[in-house]
Amino acid sequence: MLRTEPMTTTTTTKTDRHHFRSTLAVLVALVALAAALAMSFAAGGDAQAKKGKPPASTPGPVIAFTSYRDGNQEIYTMAADGSKQKNLTNNPASDFDAAVSPDGKKIAFTSNRDGLLNPEIYVMNADGSNQQRLTKDEAADTLPAWSPDGSKIAFTSSRDGNQEIYTMDAATGDTLENMTKNPARDAAPDWAPDGVTISFETNRDGNGEIYMMDSHGNLPYNLSRNPTVGDFGATYAPDPVDHWNRAFTRAVSTQDGSFNYEIYEMTYLGVTQTNLTKSAATETDPSYSPDGTKIAFTTDRDGNSNEEIYVMNRDGSSPKNLTNNAAGDYDPDWG
């Protein structure tokens, strides 16, 4: 379903929701890094076992999403099976673009509580407490994405007169760095699990494409190379074996001359690109489960006027409705 938001002139989401719905980097020491992490994890587990203590537990995975069920946009969370749905933000302003931190303890999000045309990046605890503003700029700052170690947040900002990808310190909002510095529109960043590269969407080739660059904006490389309407909102697979794979949204031409949105997955450097949903409905906003076996996404396939959060197997099979709500639920992020 195409949606018109109050901030359509300035705001985007992981699939460029507020725009498109209303209208190389080199692999650096991946094997060595994965091996080092594995050895470190194993050593830590052995040490704890020798002390007779179990490994420290972490919060169970949740899916954060945006819902209209309270009359405005709010950030909700739910369990992986759709249960325990809870409003975290409870604010009369619009709150959206939820991004769960790597350790599951915090959620970054966008809010327009500082002005309708001045969306800012906020962060809160995973239970909704301690909501704090990170960006402090009169331009639109949206679409937060955590670095794998949780120390930085990449986001989209229009503070340079057009949309660019910035990074900042996740705790303070300081140490800002413009990574794209391009006259085209660059938006919707997502950080690779190894912390070396960032994927983003851009129209620098005249249509929407998925690009990658290193974590300082160097070596931009076109991954999708698709001459049709556009590709949007790429997100990396989380597992270390194939995390170079990315799920994304593609506008697919239809027989009647219009187009439809589908969830695709691409392999390393975009060599293979596969349609996972193959539906007449609209599917957007893919997000992998922590173990990489499933993908949550937004769809209007139930035929009503609102969208729902679904989950499917990695190959597109066995789709299941998680939200089952008459209001619009969209943009899942699986922590």
Q: How far apart are CA 303 and CA 261, in angstroms?
A: 15
pTM of the model: 0.83
| Residues 65-82 pLDDT 10s | 999 999 999 999 999 999
pLDDT of residue 128: 98
> What is the total count of domains within the chain?
1
Q: Is position 163 within any domain?
A: yes
Q: Is position 109 within any domain?
A: yes
Q: Is the pLDDT of residue 3 over 90?
A: no
Amino acid at 236: Y
Of 40 and 274, more confident? 274
pLDDT of residue 61: 86
Among 28, 163, 240, 291, which residue's Cα sits nearest to residue 311?
291
pLDDT of residue 33: 31
First CA to last CA distance, the chain: 25
pLDDT of residue 116: 84
Q: Which residues are CB-contacts of 155 (< 8 A; sequence separation ≥ 6)? A: 121, 135, 141, 142, 143, 144, 145, 165, 166, 167, 168, 189
Of 316 and 117, more confident? 316
Instruction: Report yes or no: 156 and 165 within 8 Å, Cβ to Cβ.
Output: yes
Residue 48: helix, strand or coil by DSSP? helix
Q: Is the pLDDT of residue 23 over 50?
A: no
Q: Is position 282 within any domain?
A: no
Q: What is the mean pLDDT of residues 97-122?
A: 96
pLDDT of residue 60: 62
Q: Is the pLDDT of residue 246 over 90?
A: yes
| Residues 31-55 pLDDT 10s | 333 333 333 333 333 333 333 433 3
Full residue range of the structural domain in which residue 157 is found: 91-178
Residue 39: helix, strand or coil by DSSP? helix
Q: Is the pLDDT of residue 178 over 80?
A: yes
Q: Is position 248 within any domain?
A: no
Q: Is position 168 within any domain?
A: yes
Q: What is the mean pLDDT of residues 81-92?
A: 97
pLDDT of residue 209: 97
Supply the CATH number for residue 109's domain.
2.40.128.650
Q: Is the pLDDT of residue 135 over 70?
A: yes
Q: What are phi and psi of 201, to 5 degrees?
A: -105, 145
pLDDT of residue 240: 61
Q: How far apart are CA 70 and CA 274, in angstroms?
A: 36
Q: Is position 216 within any domain?
A: no
pLDDT of residue 258: 83
Q: How far apart are CA 132 and CA 153, in angstroms?
A: 14
Q: Is position 112 within any domain?
A: yes
pLDDT of residue 241: 59
Instruction: Give me the chain's average pLDDT, please.
Output: 84
Q: Is the pLDDT of residue 148 over 70?
A: yes
pLDDT of residue 223: 95
Q: What are phi and psi of 305, to 5 degrees?
A: -80, -5
Q: Is position 62 within any domain?
A: no
